[in-house]
Amino acid sequence: MYQDRIILTTKDILEKEFKIDTRGYRPQEVDKYLDIIIKDLEEYQTIIREVKEENRELIDDNMKLKQEIRRLRTKLDAIKDYPVGEVHNSDLLRRLSNLEKIIYGKE
C-alpha cells in the first residue's frame, strides 16, 4: 500500500557502494544518494502520521459502535420485559444478530 511511495529498502542502503576517486568517494554521488534517503525518510514520517490518524479514527469509530451495541442491547433487554404477541427470545436474538452484522459490516 505504502511501498510504492518509498524508493529505497534497508537492503538497498546497506548494499550501496560508491565509486572511489583519487580523493575518496565522489561527493556528487553521495549527495544524490543522501537526497534519496532524506526523501524516503520524509515519506516514512508522512506515512506514520497518516497511519496514526487513521488508527485514531478507527478507534473512535470502534468506540461509537460499541456504545451503539450497548444501547441496542439495553433497548432489547427492555423489549424482553414487555411480551408482544408472538415475539420469542429466538426472534429477538436473530434481530440482535442482524443488527450486529449491520454495525460490524459482516454478512
Show pLDDT as tens, one digit a residue, over the chain (107 residues): 666 777 777 788 878 887 777 778 788 888 888 889 888 888 888 899 999 999 999 999 999 999 999 999 888 877 776 665 666 777 778 888 888 888 887 65
Q: What is the pTM of this model?
A: 0.52
- Which residue type sits at 52? K
Burial bucket for residue 30 (CB in 10 Å: 0-12, 13-18, 19+): middle
Question: Residue 32: left if φ>0, alpha if ψ -120 to 50, beta else—which one?
Answer: alpha
